[in-house]
Amino acid sequence: MTETVHNTEGHGYLATFIGKNGRFLILRVLSQGLVTIDLQCSEGDDLAHVDHLLDSLEAKLKTLLHGTISRMKRLPALRRGADVDRYWPTADGRLVEYDIDEVVYEQDSDYQNIKILHSSQFGNILILNGDVNMADSDLAYTQAIMGGGREQYAGKEVLVLGGGDGGILHEAVKLKPKMVTMVEIDQLVIDGCRKHMRKTCGDVLDSLQGDFYQVLVEDCVPVLKKFAEEGKMFDYVINDLTAVPISTAPEEDSTWEFLRLILDLSIKVLRPDGKYFTQGNCANLTDSLQEYEGLLGRLSCPVSFSKEVVCVPSYMELWVFYTVWKK
């Protein structure tokens, strides 16, 4: 490979190498002893030969450095610019590579970018604005946001906010409620999930109205205000709109205010013995979760709450869910 040494102005050693088939290598030696080597290859390169090259490089490094290496680690290759994006961040900022092999559905609505991608492990995955929302494998999420199997939905009035994947609606109607009203703003989410998330939604999205449910394709805020003005009450309100923001920084104030608005309006339409269910966020985001719990203490009506931590398969992280009720 052809070597070029770069001037780092005293900040260690930096060299780049260009080789056959467009291979490009970056070698950096930092003053604290860290050595990084990044090898870039083009699509169609002989991967077996690349692995052999890296094996030889590791052996050479061990020989040259005479046992002074405290540890060495080779990371899997990152595939950049592929037709199917396999990399999605967790809520706490870790990068996860999924076994995604197909883009099943993609649309830009007036509200968000919608993708449904296929994973060999998790089935079809709904991704909204880059956030993993729901996969065929994620019944645990739906069960947790409905109360973990501890509630009696038979004969009850249920309000679902969001939930365009149809998972909550599908599970709720099995429990013979009096009526489930689902309010989802984005028709394109419903359209995509109706066709490509059948393991999650079953057939409930085939029609916007059934024996035990109705789906309103509207903004939930004016709907909640209308219900409150009319005195309409529900036994259960399930908020599947958005997770708790990952940050408590001022730029997130609008999201926090939206959460507070939804909470206040939901409590107004909740019967005195009713319950409000919602997701929190990743269990590692303790500051944000504490901020949310503080928000629960500043509502127009005093409430109590409990929380549960659940493993949602496609999230690859533990997720917190809240149950809220009036004092």
Catalytically active residues, by annotation: 240
- Are the CB atoms for 296 and 259 separated by under 8 Å? no
DSSP 200-245: HHTTGGGSSB-SSEEEE-S-HHHHHHHHHHHT--EEEEEEES-PPP
Q: 256 phi and psi, to 5 degrees? A: -65, -40
Task: Give the number of other CB atoms < 10 A from CB of residue 124.
Answer: 25
Task: Give the number of other CB atoms < 10 A from CB of residue 209.
Answer: 8
**In sequence order, what are the residues at sequence separation of 6 or more whose Cβ sits closer than 8 angstroms to the Cβ of residue 319?**
141, 144, 279, 280, 281, 282, 283, 309, 310, 311, 312
Amino acid at 288: S
Q: 282 phi and psi, to 5 degrees? A: -60, 140
Q: Quick one: tokens of 202?
A: 């079953």
DSSP 295-319: HHTTSSS-EEEEEEEEEEGGGTEEE
191, burial (CB in 10 Å: exposed 0-12, middle 13-18, buried 19+): middle
DSSP 155-199: T-EEEEEE-TTSHHHHHHHTT--SEEEEE-S-HHHHHHHHHH-HH
Running DSSP on this structure, what letter comes out for residue 209?
B
